[in-house]
């Protein structure tokens, strides 16, 4: 769905494309984040336990996969141990999957990204 958003903050961690597994997913990276005490405390402290987001930042020869959450909080509130990516006010394409479990984020990118792009 296309929509306009105000400035947002993506909080989590980036993973280089070299960490993508043979199935073309970031399952191990996602699990690393889910096992991370700092991330889990951040989610609990901010009532975000049931929220997750993935962000792909692409360049000409590579990309970075981010796993975390999108929030309206101020950048200086992000705890040490997590990173932030400031998302400017913009028109975006967003896919929201309600009542989804974490397995959704482990699907291969070579199927999820093309399916997302075809919708828009």
pLDDT at residue number 91: 87
Average pLDDT, the chain: 86
| Mean pLDDT to the nearest integer, 39-46 | 97
The pLDDT value given to residue 24:
86
Two tokens at 65? Answer: 């996969």
Residue 22 has pLDDT above 70, yes or no: yes
Kindly tell me the sign of the dihedral angle through the C-alpha atoms of 39, 40, 43, 45.
negative
Nearest CA to 30 among 79, 69, 71? 69
Binned at pLDDT 50, 70 and 90, residue 107 comes out as low
Question: 């993506």: which residue's tokens?
Answer: 10
For 43-73, what is each residue's pLDDT tens digit? 999 999 999 999 888 888 888 999 999 999 9
Q: Which of 42, 53, 44 is nearest to 95 (CA)?
A: 53
Q: CB under 8 Å to 50, separation ≥6 — which residues?
A: none
Separation between Cα atoms, residue 7 and residue 50, nearest integer Å: 21
| H helix or E strand, kind and range, residue 107 | none
**pTM of the prediction?**
0.82
């Amino acid at each position: 769905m296309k929509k306009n958003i105000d400035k947002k903050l993506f909080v989590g961690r980036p993973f280089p494309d070299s960490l993508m597994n043979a199935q073309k997913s970031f399952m191990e990276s996602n699990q690393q984040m889910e096992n991370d005490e700092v991330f889990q405390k951040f989610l609990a402290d901010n009532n975000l336990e049931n929220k997750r987001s993935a962000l792909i930042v692409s360049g000409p020869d590579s990309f970075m996969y981010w796993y975390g959450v999108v929030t309206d909080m101020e950048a200086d509130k992000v705890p040490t141990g997590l990173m932030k990516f400031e998302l400017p006010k913009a028109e975006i394409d967003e896919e929201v999957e309600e009542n989804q479990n974490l397995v959704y984020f482990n699907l291969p990118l070579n199927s999820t990204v093309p399916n997302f792009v075809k919708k828009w």
